[in-house]
Amino acid sequence: MVEQILSVSGLKKYFPVQKSFVERLLSGKVDYVKAVDGIDFEIRKGEIFTLAGETGCGKTTTGRLIVRLIEPTAGKIVFEGRDITHLRGEELRKLRRRLQIVFQDPYASLNPRMRVGDAVKHPLEIHGIAEGGEAKKLVLEMLERVGLTPPEQFYNAYPHQLSGGERQRVALARAMILKPDFVVADEPVSMIDVSLRARILELMLELKRELDVTYLFITHDLAVAKYISNRIAVMYLGKIVEIAETREFFTNPQHPYTMALISAIPVPDPKAKRKRMILKGETPNPINPPSGCRFHTRCPYKMDICSVEEPQLLDIGNGHYVACHRVS
């Protein structure tokens, strides 16, 4: 039996749509963007689980729900056997020590007035792990560990003096200094130049081994997902449409949306001969998602049932889950 570290069930997050006063008078009802609309998955201890999907599919919202930065509308989040959905105050603070997040934009996620050393040291002080000279020693070690050398120099630098790649290392150091058990990494390399991306990914893998941490990796880039993940889940309009082991995911994709996503990825080889499956149209509005299967408006294999009944996420063997009427 594989040990689970985190599971979510029936997780939902609806954001109310901002309307003008006149619009409210006229309609009277509040619309919601159904960013995450009932998802279930579990993450095994020590794995890298990827949530992939396009803009607006709900992957980032899911990551934020899990670290409890936003409150879910419904559903349950269980971390190491304990329901953390409604933790507050001191309890939540204690949880955060073990559950960290790294954001996409290293230009926005660091306080511009805080020196790098202080930013990385801050979590140690908040959680009362170390202070003064001892904290500084831990920070210097961590900076060196993420490749910011010489660490003394980076300790006193301000974020604006660093490149994007260096800032992302600072963000990693800040998350990792608490030796968390679980880290949500939200598009950690998408703003980093390609020549440096592989180094950040490698660093994440090294830290994972050393600190025995589990990752929820969030990305729009399936090529990066393939490189780093053990398992991949694809989201579309707030729902999970497929979950599979990485190899199975790429060799035997079952959901038509997954197939389209894979075939849309450009390949760095001019001789690659591929039959592209190009979807028509664009992702529908998440305020009024299509009935039945949300993908049916763009699906090349659409059947009558698809616009009426929502397909359930079913296990088709070997831990491969698909939500599609063609498969069930």
Partner 1 sequence: MGHLLEIKNLKVYYYTRRGAVRAVDGVSLYMDRGETLGLVGESGSGKSTLGLSILRLIPPPGKIVDGKIVFDGMDITSMPEDEIIKIRGKRISMVFQDPMTSLDPLMKIGDHLIETIMVHENVSREEAEKRAKELLESVGILPDRFNDYPHQFSGGMRQRVMIALALALNPDLIIADEPTTALDVIIQAQILELMKELKKKFNAGIILITHDISIVAEMADRIALMYAGQLMEFSDALSIFEEPLHPYTEALLQSIPNIQLSDQKLRYIPGSPPDLINPPSGCRFHPRCPYVMDVCRVKEPPMIEVEKGRMVKCFKYS
What are the residues binding partner 1 (CB under 8 A)?
Answer: 54-55, 163, 165-166, 193-199, 201-202, 220, 222-224, 226-227, 247, 250, 260-272, 276, 278-279, 282-283
* Cβ 134 to partner 1 shortest distance, Å: 32
* Cβ 211 to partner 1 shortest distance, Å: 21
| Cβ partners under 8 Å of residue 194, min gap 6 | none
Please, which residue, 16 or 268, has the CB nearer to partner 1? 268
Helix axes 116-126, 132-145, angle to 10 degrees: 120
Please, which residue, 157 or 262, has the CB nearer to partner 1? 262
Please, which residue, 89 or 266, has the CB nearer to partner 1? 266
Give SS3 for 104: coil
Give SS3 for 177: coil
Nearest to 322 by CA among 240, 224, 214: 240
Interatomic CA distance for residues 13 and 285, integer angstroms = 16
Please, which residue, 62 or 219, has the CB nearer to partner 1? 219
Length of the chain: 328
Please, which residue, 68 or 320, has the CB nearer to partner 1? 320
* Cβ 130 to partner 1 shortest distance, Å: 31
- 256-262's contacts with Cβ under 8 Å and 24+ in sequence apart are 256/295, 256/299, 256/300, 256/301, 256/324, 256/326, 257/295, 257/298, 257/299, 258/234, 261/52, 261/54, 261/222, 261/234, 262/222
Please, which residue, 173 or 178, has the CB nearer to partner 1? 173
Please, which residue, 260 or 293, has the CB nearer to partner 1? 260
DSSP 229-260: -SEEEEEETTEEEEEEEHHHHHHS--SHHHHH
* Cβ 181 to partner 1 shortest distance, Å: 27
Determine contact, residues 230/253, Cβ cutoff 8 Å: no
Interatomic CA distance for residues 156 and 163, integer angstroms = 15
Tokens of 262: 């894979």
* Cβ 106 to partner 1 shortest distance, Å: 13
* Cβ 162 to partner 1 shortest distance, Å: 10
- Stretch (H or E) spanning 88: none
Please, which residue, 126 or 264, has the CB nearer to partner 1? 264
* Cβ 26 to partner 1 shortest distance, Å: 20
* Longest CA span, the chain: 68
* Cβ 220 to partner 1 shortest distance, Å: 7
Sign of CA dihedral 238, 43, 215, 182: positive
